[in-house]
């Protein structure tokens, strides 16, 4: 009986993943029902050696952070007054995996920023009433001091320079100051300009519509990058538009226009926002169902395969250099929930299976519902500094790679359904762990929580241990536990005792809106 169910589900998964993006896939009912009918026995069986051959590197900094430039000091703290909450939250990740996520300081406001040698403030942002993105930003040496000293030692950065202003002296002054005041061993790359494909938008007005294009951008960077200090590395592109939408701004196009001539470029970067809350009309289209649907995530982000290939064809690193659930700072009740957290993990791990190196989730203050944390409190409750559920993705990834010399990842696609994702984690060619996400929507209104009984004995035998990421339900904004531990809201420290469950019958129960990491052995 359960085998038949699985066959049907597997067939649906196959069909769905093959369906063109134009086809609206029919999904099985998401309504939570009671009892046996939503219990499903899944048998995790696949060709482990073929999986190793198809696997991709799982980067030790896969999940990293982007911080809107005008909020840099809020996240880092002032010189001699570090933001201890941010520092602890980063340290937690390093304590698990030994690796710190990268911090990129950039975004729309990097193109409004200028360096000011004699300004008294580390960072001075000016806002229009009602807007949480600065219209003018100046920074002084204090910002670099904070970058050098405030975060855990060996903290690495990507630093955004101003291209919007269209004045090379502005970018030169920023880069010269960084060369002088910023510890260069902390710099992974600089980045010239943010989302150049939006430079003609009336809200920016950085370039005229009739002359600005991908070709013009490439031409300008061919002229500018060699004039900016030599020996520096650059992240390039940061194109906002999805490659699925016809546009002349793509990395594939940049490749054809001769980006390989720029020896300074070491990273190609895309930006992605699956939805937007910039207008009431766009916000109304942002639904939880589109984030906790694994096959939707796969179909949506498969559009980046060509962009990743463009980077890899030049031997470059590929970043999703700024991203999150919905543009214009996320949607309350979607971005900042357990469902948002599961999407963050699923999206990141799926991109890794396509060959992406790092994915940088964007952060800001106030109405930034997609932020991993609020560094100093915001206007929305709770008004003190706090984490959002998505922060746990950093800890989840850290545990997934912990103890592995050369982590690799493979998506076991034939097992996947709209609400079940299977990632095999290897070290070299040895299968070490499985990551399974049950993204089934459970909003807490039904009495029983649907569960999947997952039989891993075909690959791991009967004895294994499980670390579980849980929360009360899909729409919960708090109450997440990771191996029964949780983040203390005041200190940012993990509290409680880390718990791995012991399994002796080969079967792991994963409830709706949970994720697990499974390892062999006791």
Give the footprint of ligand NAG on this chain (CB under 6 A). Answer: 31, 119-121, 124, 126, 136, 138, 200, 202, 209, 443, 445, 475
Helix (H) or strand (E) holding 18: helix 2-18
Query: ∠184-186-189 over CA atoms, to 5°?
Result: 80
Q: Shortest gap between Cβ of 412 and ligand NAG (angstroms)?
A: 29
Choose between 136 and 367: whose C-beta lies nearer to ligand NAG.
136
Choose between 425 and 512: whose C-beta lies nearer to ligand NAG.
512
Q: Measure the CA–CA gap between 328 and 360, rounded to whole angstroms.
A: 16
3-class secondary structure, 95: helix
Choose between 204 and 500: whose C-beta lies nearer to ligand NAG.
204
Q: Shortest gap between Cβ of 81 and ligand NAG (angstroms)?
A: 17
Choose between 387 and 475: whose C-beta lies nearer to ligand NAG.
475
Choose between 18 and 31: whose C-beta lies nearer to ligand NAG.
31
> Is 445 exposed, middle or buried (CB count within 10 Å of its CB: 0-12, 13-18, 19+)?
exposed
For residue 518, list its beta bridge partners. 434, 466
Choose between 118 and 169: whose C-beta lies nearer to ligand NAG.
118
Q: Measure the CA–CA gap between 404 and 172, rounded to whole angstroms.
A: 41
Q: Shortest gap between Cβ of 150 and ligand NAG (angstroms)?
A: 21
**Positions of E strands within 76-233:** 77-78, 81-82, 103-106, 113-115, 123-126, 136-139, 157-161, 187-192
Relative to beta strand 486-487, strand 494-495 is antiparallel
Q: Measure the CA–CA gap between 361 and 293, rounded to whole angstroms.
A: 19
Contact criterion met (CB below 8 Å) for 366 and 380: yes
Q: Shortest gap between Cβ of 134 and ligand NAG (angstroms)?
A: 10
Contact criterion met (CB below 8 Å) for 13 and 387: no
Q: Shortest gap between Cβ of 212 and ligand NAG (angstroms)?
A: 9
Q: Measure the CA–CA gap between 130 and 504, rounded to whole angstroms.
A: 57
> How many C-beta atoms lie closer than 10 Å to residue 494's C-beta?
19
Distances from the Cα of 381 to the Cαs of 169, 280, 332, 368, 471, in angstroms? 42, 22, 11, 12, 19
Choose between 205 and 226: whose C-beta lies nearer to ligand NAG.
205
Q: Measure the CA–CA gap between 333 and 499, rounded to whole angstroms.
A: 29
Q: Shortest gap between Cβ of 29 and ligand NAG (angstroms)?
A: 9
3-class secondary structure, 482: strand
Choose between 445 and 504: whose C-beta lies nearer to ligand NAG.
445
Q: Shortest gap between Cβ of 209 and ligand NAG (angstroms)?
A: 4
Choose between 399 and 474: whose C-beta lies nearer to ligand NAG.
474
Q: Shortest gap between Cβ of 197 and ligand NAG (angstroms)?
A: 10
Q: Shortest gap between Cβ of 205 and ligand NAG (angstroms)?
A: 7
Q: DSSP label at 432?
A: E
């Amino acid at each position: 009986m359960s085998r038949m169910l699985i066959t049907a589900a597997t067939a649906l998964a196959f069909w769905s993943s093959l369906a063109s993006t134009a086809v609206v896939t029919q999904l099985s009912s998401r309504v939570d029902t009671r009892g046996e009918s939503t219990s499903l026995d899944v048998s995790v069986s696949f060709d482990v050696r073929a999986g190793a051959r198809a696997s991709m590197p799982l980067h030790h900094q896969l999940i990293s952070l982007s911080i809107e430039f005008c909020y840099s000091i809020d996240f880092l703290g002032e010189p001699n007054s570090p933001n201890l909450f941010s520092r602890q939250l980063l340290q937690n990740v390093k304590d698990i995996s030994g690796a710190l996520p990268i911090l990129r300081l950039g975004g729309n406001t990097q193109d409004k920023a200028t360096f000011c040698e004699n300004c008294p403030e580390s960072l001075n942002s000016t806002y229009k009433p009602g807007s949480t993105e600065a219209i003018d930003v100046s920074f002084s040496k204090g910002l670099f001091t904070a970058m050098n000293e405030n975060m855990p030692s060996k903290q690495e950065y990507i630093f955004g320079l101003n291209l919007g202003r269209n004045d090379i002296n502005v970018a030169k002054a920023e880069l010269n100051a960084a060369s002088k005041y910023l510890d260069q061993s902390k710099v992974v790359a600089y980045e010239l300009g943010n989302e150049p494909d939006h430079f003609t938008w009336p809200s920016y007005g950085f370039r005229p519509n009739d002359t600005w294009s991908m070709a013009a951008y490439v031409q300008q960077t061919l002229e500018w990058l060699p004039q900016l200090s030599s020996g520096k590395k650059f992240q390039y592109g940061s194109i906002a538009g999805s490659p699925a939408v016809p546009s002349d701004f793509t990395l594939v196009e940049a490749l054809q226009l001769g980006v390989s001539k720029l020896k300074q470029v070491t990273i190609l970067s895309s930006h992605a926002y699956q939805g937007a809350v910039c207008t009431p009309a766009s916000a109304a289209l942002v639904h939880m169902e589109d984030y906790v649907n694994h096959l939707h995530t796969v179909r949506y982000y498969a559009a980046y395969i060509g962009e990743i290939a463009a980077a890899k064809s030049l031997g470059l690193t590929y970043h999703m250099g700024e991203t999150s659930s919905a543009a214009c700072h996320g949607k309350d009740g979607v971005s900042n929930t357990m469902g948002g957290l599961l999407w963050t993990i699923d999206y990141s791990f799926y991109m890794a299976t396509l060959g992406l190196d790092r994915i940088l989730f964007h952060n800001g203050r106030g109405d930034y519902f997609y932020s991993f944390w609020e560094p100093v409190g915001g206007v929305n409750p709770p008004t003190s500094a706090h984490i959002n559920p998505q922060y746990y993705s950093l800890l989840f990834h850290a545990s997934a790679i912990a103890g592995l010399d050369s982590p690799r990842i493979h998506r076991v696609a034939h097992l996947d359904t709209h609400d079940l994702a299977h990632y095999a984690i290897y070290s070299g060619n040895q299968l070490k762990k499985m990551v399974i996400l049950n993204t089934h929507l459970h909003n807490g209104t039904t009495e029983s929580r649907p569960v999947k009984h997952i039989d891993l004995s075909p690959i791991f035998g009967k004895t294994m241990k499980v670390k579980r990421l849980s929360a009360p339900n899909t729409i919960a904004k708090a109450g997440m536990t990771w191996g029964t531990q949780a983040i203390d809201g005041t200190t940012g420290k993990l509290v409680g005792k880390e718990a791995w469950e012991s399994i002796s019958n080969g079967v792991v129960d994963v409830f709706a809106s949970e994720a697990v990491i499974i390892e062999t052995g006791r």
